[in-house]
Amino acid sequence: MFSTRSIIGLVAAAVPALLPSAPAEAPSIPAGSCPAASDPAALLDPVELDVRDLTSFEWEVGDPIPEDLLRYDGRRVIIRGFMYQGVEDVVDQFPLVAESCQCNERLLPHHFIDVTLKRGDTGPIPGEFEVLGKLSVGEVEDEDGFVVSLFRLKGEIY
């Protein structure tokens, strides 16, 4: 039989052979893939935007999102806009749109900001208001593969 001391010695001798000789490198993030990552202040100082700054462009499924909009991905922003008129109850998620009249009944993925409140709920808000939070830019699909949003903001009413 082996003694506890001899087993510990065998394990201690074998472990270094199993470990990599050099520490693994941290994965690198390709330049330009997260604009805010190259500028730490960008995460702290919010950029003031109007919904129109993000939603005033032509887009169809498969089209790239313009680079001048992708630069806001991951940034803290203050966005001015209107709550979509279809919101009638107390909610913690709602579409933020550019106009109060909302003459077009159908919301296209590039015509609104999908806002999720971090704390609390809100009822319908008449008039223009601001939301402060972190913006995500990129296509999000539903379970059927349809693009349902290009812009998401997680934050709070400002």
pLDDT at 69: 96
List pLDDT tens digits, range 15-46: 444 444 444 443 333 444 444 455 565 557 89
Kindly report the CATH number assigned to the domain that includes residue 140.
2.40.50.870
Distance from C-alpha of 118 to C-alpha of 48, rounded to nearest angstrom: 19
Residue 101 counted as domain residue? yes
Residue 141 counted as domain residue? yes
- Residue 105's domain comprises 35-157
When divided into structural domains, the chain yields a total of: 1
pTM of the full structure: 0.71
Residue 152 counted as domain residue? yes
Residue 68 counted as domain residue? yes
List pLDDT tens digits, range 104-137: 667 899 999 999 999 889 999 999 999 999 999 9
Residue 17 counted as domain residue? no
Distance from C-alpha of 30 to C-alpha of 25, rounded to nearest angstrom: 15
List pLDDT tens digits, range 34-82: 444 555 655 578 999 999 999 999 999 999 999 999 999 999 999 999 9
Residue 67 counted as domain residue? yes
19-42: string of b/e by CB count within 10 Å (b at 16+)?
eeeeeeeeeeeeeeeebbeeeeeb
Backbone angles phi, psi at 49, to 5 degrees: -135, 160
